[in-house]
Structure 1
């Protein structure tokens, strides 16, 4: 499994287009969004515009890295026969899924760090040392949820359908989860739906740390449940695909 992780990392790092959209694009969005200000308060969050969108764009970048990369790559690997070759090895289904999740999570780390650096330099965001460390770990660890979702999508969708399906989930979860705009600005019915989405819980981890609070129990529980659901579904789909071959 270690060898597969190294291979996946090498392939991802060589893809310049993928690295741009997952690492630089979120930082550029952060600059554009907070260009007119940064110190003003975001209603209902206890955070400034700069700190709120720093966490949102770091989460968005990690989401891009793990979700977009995994889903399309796996769908293509199924079509070109690479997954069939792996089945001839001793690698178990859970090993394949874990290797995909782990390699995607490593690639997501630069996306998080770049947004933090840009926020600190361009918008003078200042936090305690423990907050920077905790934020980095929380957003990185939370990205595993969406890495597992990417693996599952890669086994549900065909090569032609995987991109539109992934994009629909990608933009839908980002928008409704409050990554692009505060969920506090949503109408009550939409705010209720948003509060149960994994992206809302994901951003909630970082926002709590920025306020100096412990992450909410609901947010942590939701992310654990979603991870088990997505990872379990991905492993089941891998075994199902194996039986078809």
Structure 2
């Protein structure tokens, strides 16, 4: 399994177009959306200024881009080309394949997170304590495993031609409802009651708590763990289902 993880990481790093989109795109969006915003105004009841709040949103968005879209498309194409069928002839167990995809995807998300942090610190003067930077990096990276598992599930749901529109639809829906583009505090109250249980909302909430100097909320942790188990379970079930078809 370790060999497959290394292979997956190297394959992704060699894809220059994907790396450009997943690493630089969120950082560029951060610059665009914070260009005309005053740095001393807090947003809603978050107690955070927009540059600080949006830093976590775009770092989470970058990680989501890396692990969801890329994972889903690679798996769908590998199924069509017979690569997955070849792997089943080896001693690699089904759960090993799913875990290798999740792990390799989450490792690649690190550059996207760091890029947003650097842009926020340099362009907007975002300053946090050392423990907050380290905690943010760890939490956003670990949380990306949830969406890496979702990417695996989507990759087994659709064919190579259909996987991109499906992955993009899920991707934009999660980003919008999770408040990654615009603060969820600006949503109508009825919508805020719903998005509290959306995984991307909980994902961003962990980072925002750390930015305020608080411990991550138990509710957000429980929600993310629930979705991790759900998505990983669906991915494993889809893998086994696809095995029976082969």
Could you tell me how far apart the structure 2 residues matched to 1:46 and 1:83 are?
48
1:29 aligned onto 2:29? yes
Could you tell me how far apart the structure 1 residues matched to 2:133 and 2:59 are?
12
- Find the residue that maps to 2:165 and give its secondary structure: helix
Could you tell me how far apart the structure 1 residues matched to 2:43 and 2:27 are?
19
Could you tell me how far apart the structure 2 residues matched to 1:3 and 1:236 are?
23
RMSD: 0.6
- CA drift at 1:39: 2.5
2:235 aligns with: 234
- Find the residue that maps to 1:40 and give its secondary structure: coil
- Find the residue that maps to 2:160 and give its secondary structure: coil
Could you tell me how far apart the structure 2 residues matched to 1:45 and 1:110 are?
27
1:174 aligned onto 2:175? yes
Equivalent residues in 2 for 1:191-230, closer than 5 Å: 191-230=192-231
Equivalent residues in 2 for 1:69-80, closer than 5 Å: 69-80=70-81
Q: After the TM superposition, which of the residue ranges 31-40 and 50-59 deviates more from structure 2?
A: 31-40
2:18 aligns with: 18
CA-to-partner distance for each residue in 1:2-61, whole Å, 9 max, x for gaps?
Answer: 110011011100011100111011000000000012332111211001000000000000
Could you tell me how far apart the structure 2 residues matched to 1:175 and 1:115 are?
18
Q: Which runs of 4+ in 1 moved over 2 A?
A: none
1:53 aligned onto 2:59? no
For structure 2, list consecutive stretches of 5 or more residues without a partner in the other structure: none
For structure 1, list consecutive stretches of 5 or more residues without a partner in the other structure: none
Could you tell me how far apart the structure 2 residues matched to 1:105 and 1:160 are?
24
CA-to-partner distance for each residue in 1:68-94, whole Å, 9 max, x for gaps?
Answer: 110000000000100000010010010
Could you tell me how far apart the structure 2 residues matched to 1:189 and 1:230 are?
26
- CA drift at 1:114: 0.7
Output the TM-score relative to the length of structure 2. 0.98
1:159 aligns with: 160
Could you tell me how far apart the structure 2 residues matched to 1:97 and 1:147 are?
10
Output the TM-score relative to the length of structure 1. 0.99
Equivalent residues in 2 for 1:74-223, closer than 5 Å: 74-223=75-224
- CA drift at 1:117: 0.7
- How many residues end up aligned between the 2 structures? 245
- CA drift at 1:221: 0.2
